[in-house]
C-alpha cells in the first residue's frame, strides 16, 4: 500500500495486523467521475515500510498488505452506521487527509459490505 503521495510517516503509524480500508472518491485521480466507495480491504503484513523507484523524481514508500477484497462497497449505504460519518453532513472532509484510524466497528461494517469475513485478531 502507498498513502499520502508516498510519504513515510503515515506508514510508520501502522503495524502488522492492522486492518486497512481504501476509499475512492472518484474513478480517476483528480476526476469528477464519482466512485464514493471503499475499494480495497486488507491486513498489513510483517515488515517495515520500504521505498520503491517509480522515476528519478518519485520514490514513494510502501507497506505490504494482504488484500482480502477488491469488491466495491458504496459509502452512501453506510453513512448512518459508520462511527466516523454518522450524523455528519460533511462526512467526506476527514477522508481528504489520507490515512486515519477508524473503529473496529467501522472496519467490520466495511468488511461486511464488501462480502468479507475478517479473521479474528490475534
Q: Please check whether residue 119 lies inside any domain of the structure.
A: no
pLDDT digits over 32-84, tens only?
A: 899 999 999 999 999 999 999 999 999 999 999 999 988 999 999 999 999 99
Q: Is residue 120, in this structure, part of any structural domain at all?
A: no
* CA separation for the pair 73, 2 (Å, rounded): 20
Per-residue confidence (pLDDT) for residue 29, from 0 to 100: 81
Asked, for residue 47, whether it belongs to a domain, the answer is yes
Per the domain annotation, does 108 fall within a domain? Answer: yes
What is the arithmetic mean of pLDDT over 4-25?
Answer: 94
**Local confidence band at 23 (pLDDT 50, 70, 90 cut-offs):** very high
**Hey, which residues does 37 pair with through a beta bridge?**
24, 74
Q: How much is the pLDDT for 122?
A: 60
Q: What CATH code is carried by the domain that includes residue 91?
A: 3.10.590.10
In a domain, 73, yes or no: yes
pLDDT at residue number 105? 94
Residue at 66 is within a domain: yes
Rounded distance between C-alpha atoms, residue 35 and residue 62, angstroms: 24
- Average pLDDT over the chain reads 92
| Domain hosting residue 91, numbered range | 4-113
- Residue 89 is predicted with a pLDDT of 81
In whole angstroms, what is the distance from residue 48 CA to residue 68 CA? 20
Q: How many domains does the chain have?
A: 1
118 found inside a domain: no
Q: Look at residue 120 and tell me whether its pLDDT is greater than 90.
A: no
Q: What is the mean pLDDT of residues 81-92?
A: 86
Residue 107 predicted with pLDDT over 70: yes
What's the rounded mean pLDDT across residues 77-102?
A: 87
Instruction: Specify if 34 maps to a domain.
Output: yes
Amino acid at each position: 500500500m502507498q498513502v499520502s503521495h508516498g510519504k513515510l510517516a503515515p506508514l510508520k503509524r501502522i503495524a502488522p495486523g492492522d486492518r486497512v480500508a481504501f476509499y475512492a472518491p472518484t474513478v480517476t485521480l483528480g476526476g469528477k467521475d464519482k466512485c464514493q466507495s471503499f475499494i480495497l480491504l486488507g491486513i498489513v503484513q510483517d515488515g517495515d515500510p520500504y521505498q520503491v523507484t517509480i522515476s528519478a523524481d518519485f520514490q514513494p514508500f510502501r507497506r505490504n498488505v494482504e488484500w482480502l477484497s477488491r469488491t466495491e462497497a458504496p459509502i452512501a449505504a453506510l453513512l448512518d452506521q459508520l462511527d466516523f460519518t454518522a450524523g455528519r453532513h460533511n462526512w467526506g472532509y476527514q477522508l481528504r487527509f489520507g490515512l486515519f484510524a477508524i473503529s473496529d466497528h467501522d472496519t467490520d461494517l466495511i468488511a461486511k459490505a464488501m462480502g468479507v469475513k475478517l479473521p479474528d485478531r490475534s
